[in-house]
Amino acid sequence: MHVPAVAEPSSALKPWRSKDILWLVLPAALGVVVGVTWWLLAPGGLNLISGNPDLANAANPDSWLPRDLLLAALMLLAGCLTGVMLDGKLQGEGSGRRLGFALVGGALGALIAWLVGLLAAQLLGPAPDPALGPGYGFTLRSYAVLVLWPAATAFITFVLALFGVMSKKPVK
């Protein structure tokens, strides 16, 4: 009598582990911190870095570039931090899923940081002059800044993985 073999379930169908989901949630939560920090430090916000009263006015076009550059620096810092924390977690099963969650979490964190910064400006900052229009308040001029967080995460992950591969000794 012939008994058919039972197929083993695929390992790709294993449920997501809660530790992997943290790579999505933690960068998104860090976005709140980055957004508040952006408003506190940026020209046109609370302006704690420059202290220049001319740059404290969000409608001043001279404050637009430094404001965007500050958010870009914060995004790069957060992305590098995420990539360094991810190092060592990219071996074994589920490594691609963790990297994917970290990249999506970085994109969510960037979006949340931008929106929290705008919300902080509305709640804590002076009211914008309606005669100038909506583009003259505390805003982001270069939306490409929002891509820097996941891009920095991917770049740091690549560099650390490359150094890890280059430092392994060949098997004799």
- The whole-angstrom separation of Cα 19 and Cα 22 is 5
DSSP reduced 3-state for 137: coil
- The whole-angstrom separation of Cα 3 and Cα 138 is 72
Both tokens assigned to 146? 């929002």
For the stretch 4-46, pLDDT in tens is 656 555 554 455 567 889 999 999 999 999 999 999 999 989 9
The pTM score is 0.84
pLDDT of residue 171: 67
Per-residue pLDDT of the chain (172 residues; tens, 9 = 90+): 666 656 555 554 455 567 889 999 999 999 999 999 999 999 989 999 988 888 888 888 899 999 999 999 999 999 999 999 988 777 778 888 999 999 999 999 999 999 999 999 999 988 777 777 767 788 899 999 999 999 999 999 999 988 887 887 766 6
- The whole-angstrom separation of Cα 83 and Cα 77 is 10
- Phi then psi for 156, rounded to 5 degrees? -65, -40
- The whole-angstrom separation of Cα 28 and Cα 36 is 13
Cα 155–Cα 90–Cα 30 angle in degrees, nearest 5: 60
pLDDT of residue 172: 66
How many C-beta atoms lie closer than 10 Å to residue 101's C-beta? 21
pLDDT of residue 129: 73
